[in-house]
Every structure is written in C-alpha cells, then in structure tokens.
Amino acid sequence: MAIWNLGSINIDHVYRLDSLPRPGETLASRNYGQGLGGKGANQSVASARAGARTHHLGAMALGDDWVLARLADSGVDVSAVARLPDEATGHAIILLDRDAENAIVIHAGANRAIDEAALADTLSALTPRDTLLIQNETNGQVAAAQAARTRGARVIYSAAPFDLEATRAILPHATILAMNAGEARQLFAGHPGDLPVAGLLITKGSEGAEYRDLTSGRTWHQPAFRVTPVDTTGAGDTFAGYFAAGLDEGLDVAQALRLASAAAALKVTRAGAGDAIPTRPEVEAFLADQPI
C-alpha cells in the first residue's frame, strides 16, 4: 500500500499583517518568513508524517534544494520529482491577518510543466492497494486519475484551488472528492445533481468535517477539536493527507476522520504550512489528551 501524490511544490513567502489589504491599499508587514508549501507538498508531508509510504510526483526548478530536502526529511520519496532548468519553482505569496485568516496568490512555475509521459511511466507502478492524491495546482491531473483508476487504485481529488471546469473534468475519474465548505458551495452551485464519486469529504474549519458515502447514503460527522489558531494555511492539506494515510493503513472512515481532524487542529496552532504539519506521535499524544 502506498500513497502517490501528483502535487505542487511551492516556496511560501508569508507576510503577517494586522489586516488583509483592501484594493489600492499598501500595508507594511509585521513579519516575513519563507517555508515549504504547495497543496501537493503539504499533503505529501502530512501523509508521510502520518506514517504512509508516500511518493511525491511533481517538478521544481534547479536549485532551491532545501525545498526537496524538507520533503525528503519528512519521509517523502522524492525520486519522481523532476528538476526543470527553464522553470521557476512554484511559489506562493501568503498574507496572514491577526485572526490567522489568509489570502494567497500562487505562481505555478514548474508545477504546471510536469512531463506527462514521464508521469504516465511512473504511474504504471500503481496497484489496486494504492491511492493517488491530486489537487488543482499542477498539469496532468485527468490523465493521472484515469491511469490510477485503470489500475484499480483509489483516487482522492482535492478540488483546490477551486476551478469548476477542472473539477468537472476530473470527477468521473475520482473516487473521493475532498473540498472545504466554500469549495463545496461553488461546486454544488455550478454542478447541480449527483456527483459521480463514491465519497465526499467536506472540511468546515471550526465546524468540523463530514464524510458522505454516496453509494450507501451514510454520512459521518467529525467535530473540530478546540484550539487557538495561529495560522490556518495548509490545514485542509493536512486533513486530506492524514485522511488518505488513515484509509491507506486500514482505518475506518470514523477513525480516519478523527485522526485527520486532530492533525489539522494541531497544524493551525503552528505558523507555516508544510513545515508545521505534526508528526503521527504528536497527533496521537494530542488525541490522548482529548475527552472521549
């Protein structure tokens, strides 16, 4: 069993502000930092720190070696990350206000220049016991999802950043669709009617999360753990990566939801994205302190 993640790798440039700027406004940041990010890389770190064998499939520039080193140090197999001499490493400008809410601008760079033939070769190793994760920050998602389903693997698709057309194209090849509440509202407005997936994972921040099994009609609700947020960036990625890893190790939906919810709760107490994702022992210790 393994997780394969076709995902973005970003350098996050994080600016802390009292409030997010309005159009035309210039604000001085109180603090600046750089770290590992990208919805894909964050999900890979989460999955690996949860304990799953995790392969990241993606691309970045030459140089920026610290980025790859951080992924590898988290336990992610980075041998299928291509280094592209003519592309920039993807990056994100992240503005964080004093309530820990964020606004993000991304530049895809190498994330959208992934060689799809090489990707197809790598994906030929998937087995029915494997899981493919995809999001909306790379190229090649539809072909990857098709290839994974052809091999009988589970495909968990995070429709983020939300793009209705991209989501419509991938849905027929996804097993589980993962979204936050805002993304779910946009999808239901743009795509009324039944969704052709087996499961729907909706994360709702402080209101918790739910998983709907669209085959049986059963829904599981997971309340959020109460924490004081410092930075919500990457919380959804942490949830998705931990949830995928939980299913991969054989947890049932309720157990995977609880594990992922605890990991996301811990993440929001820390500044940063990929670098701030907790390890499995940290999550287990947090859970041990929670009332049953």
6 lies in the site for ligand RIB, by CB under 6 A = no
Rounded distance, CA 183 to CA 202, Å?
Answer: 9
Rounded distance, CA 92 to CA 226, Å?
Answer: 28
Minimum distance from CB of 235 to ligand RIB (Å)?
8
Active-site residue, 237 included:
yes
12 lies in the site for ligand RIB, by CB under 6 A = yes
Rounded distance, CA 51 to CA 48, Å?
Answer: 5
Minimum distance from CB of 42 to ligand RIB (Å)?
5
10 lies in the site for ligand RIB, by CB under 6 A = yes
37 lies in the site for ligand RIB, by CB under 6 A = yes
Nearer to ligand RIB, 244 or 273 (CB): 273
Minimum distance from CB of 204 to ligand RIB (Å)?
16
Size of the site for ligand RIB (CB under 6 A): 15
104 lies in the site for ligand RIB, by CB under 6 A = yes
CB under 6 A: which stretch of 4-12, 145-153, 220-228, 249-257 binds ligand RIB?
4-12
Longest dimension (CA), the chain: 53
Per-residue binding string, ligand RIB, 209-238, x by CB under 6 A, is ------------------------xx--x-
Which of 3, 4, 39, 247 touches ligand RIB by CB under 6 A?
A: 39
Tokens encoding 82: 């291509």
Nearer to ligand RIB, 107 or 151 (CB): 107
Per-residue binding string, ligand RIB, 137-166, x by CB under 6 A, is x-----------------------------
3-state SS record for the chain: CCEEEECCCEEEEEEECCCCCCCCCCCCCCEEEEEEECHHHHHHHHHHHHCCCEEEEEEEECCCHHHHHHHHHCCEEEEEEEEECCCCCEEEEEEECCCCCEEEEEECHHHHCCCHHHHHHHHCCCCCCCEEEECCCCCCHHHHHHHHHHCCCEEEEECCCCCHHHHHHHHHHCCEEEEEHHHHHHHHHHCCCCCCCCEEEEECHHHCEEEEECCCCCEEEECCCCCCCCCCCCHHHHHHHHHHHHHHCCCCHHHHHHHHHHHHHHHHCCCCCHHHCCCHHHHHHHHHCCCC
Rounded distance, CA 69 to CA 90, Å?
Answer: 16
42 lies in the site for ligand RIB, by CB under 6 A = yes
261 lies in the site for ligand RIB, by CB under 6 A = no
Out of 12, 77, 130, 237, the active site residue is: 237
Nearer to ligand RIB, 7 or 147 (CB): 7
Nearer to ligand RIB, 31 or 219 (CB): 31
Cα 61 → chain centroid: 21
Nearer to ligand RIB, 126 or 273 (CB): 273
Which of 4, 5, 15, 38 touches ligand RIB by CB under 6 A?
A: 38
CB under 6 A: which stretch of 16-24, 37-45, 144-152, 276-284 binds ligand RIB?
37-45
Q: Which residues are bridge partners to 6 per DSSP?
A: 57, 134
Q: What is the set of active-site residues?
A: 237
Interaction site with ligand RIB (CB under 6 A)? 8, 10, 12, 37-39, 42, 92, 104, 106, 137, 233-234, 237, 273
